[in-house]
């Protein structure tokens, strides 16, 4: 009984390190975040949570505090629960569908464009979609023209074969 009362007196008389650190941090968000991390190491989950919530009152966009509190980031906003995020996304899907848009990766595109985008096609400056194969043919043609090649129907003729080509001799296989 005697040792229990001495232990209780020691605990009551011991300075509270957390309170001292909290006073020292004041309203400095960086120091408060360090205090929250210290609380985690010291297994003081409730204190850590209260410090993180205080950080968010001082700086509502503090990513580290949001992440420690397991909030979800989406569309430039933070959601405290996955349920709130799901409700926001569901409402967003309905709103965008009414506008004729569909999700492609992380962006919204016209629903009519979705099949082309899923195939890997890209929109040209003219507004028309171009296949990767067509873009590669154009790149190859530009490269060959720059190197001095000429096109005969669907065949590209190298500069060293121009004399034979102009003489009316055509390649057939290796001959």
Q: What is the pLDDT of residues 43-97, one digit of tens each?
A: 889 999 999 999 999 999 999 999 999 999 988 899 999 999 999 999 988 998 8
Q: How far apart are CA 32 and CA 70, in angstroms?
A: 18
Give the pLDDT score at 107. Answer: 86
Q: How far apart are CA 152 and CA 142, in angstroms?
A: 15
Q: Is residue 56 in a domain? A: yes
pLDDT band at 165 (very low <50, low <70, confident <90, very high): confident
24 vs 43: CA distance, rounded Å: 20
pLDDT at residue number 82: 93
Q: How many residues does the chain have?
A: 175
Domain membership of residue 57 as a residue range: 16-70
Location of structure tokens 């990513």: 63
**Cα three-residue angle 67-85-51, rounded to 5 degrees:** 30
Residue 94 lies in a domain: no
Count of domains for the chain: 2
**Is 113 among the domain residues?**
no
Residue 175 maps to a domain: no
Q: How do residues 125-163 score in pLDDT, each as one tens digit?
A: 888 999 999 889 989 999 999 988 888 778 888 888 878
Flag whether 27 is in a domain: yes
pTM of the model: 0.55
- pLDDT at residue 13, rounded to an integer: 44
């Amino acid at each position: 009984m005697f040792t229990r009362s001495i232990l209780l007196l020691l605990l009551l008389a011991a300075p509270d390190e957390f309170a001292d650190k909290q006073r020292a941090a004041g309203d400095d968000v960086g120091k408060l975040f360090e205090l929250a991390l210290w609380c985690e190491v010291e297994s003081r989950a409730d204190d850590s949570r209260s410090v993180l919530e205080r950080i968010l009152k001082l700086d509502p966009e503090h990513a580290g505090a949001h992440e420690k509190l397991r909030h979800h980031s989406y569309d430039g906003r933070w959601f405290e629960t996955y349920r709130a995020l799901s409700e926001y996304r569901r409402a967003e899907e309905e709103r965008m569908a009414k506008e004729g848009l569909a999700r492609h990766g992380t962006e919204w595109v016209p629903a009519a464009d979705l099949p082309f985008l899923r195939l890997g096609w890209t929109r040209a400056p003219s507004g028309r979609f171009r296949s990767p194969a067509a873009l590669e043919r154009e790149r190859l043609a530009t490269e060959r023209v720059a190197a001095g090649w000429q096109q005969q129907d669907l065949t590209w003729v190298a500069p060293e074969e121009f004399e034979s080509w102009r003489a009316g001799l055509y390649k057939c296989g290796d001959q």
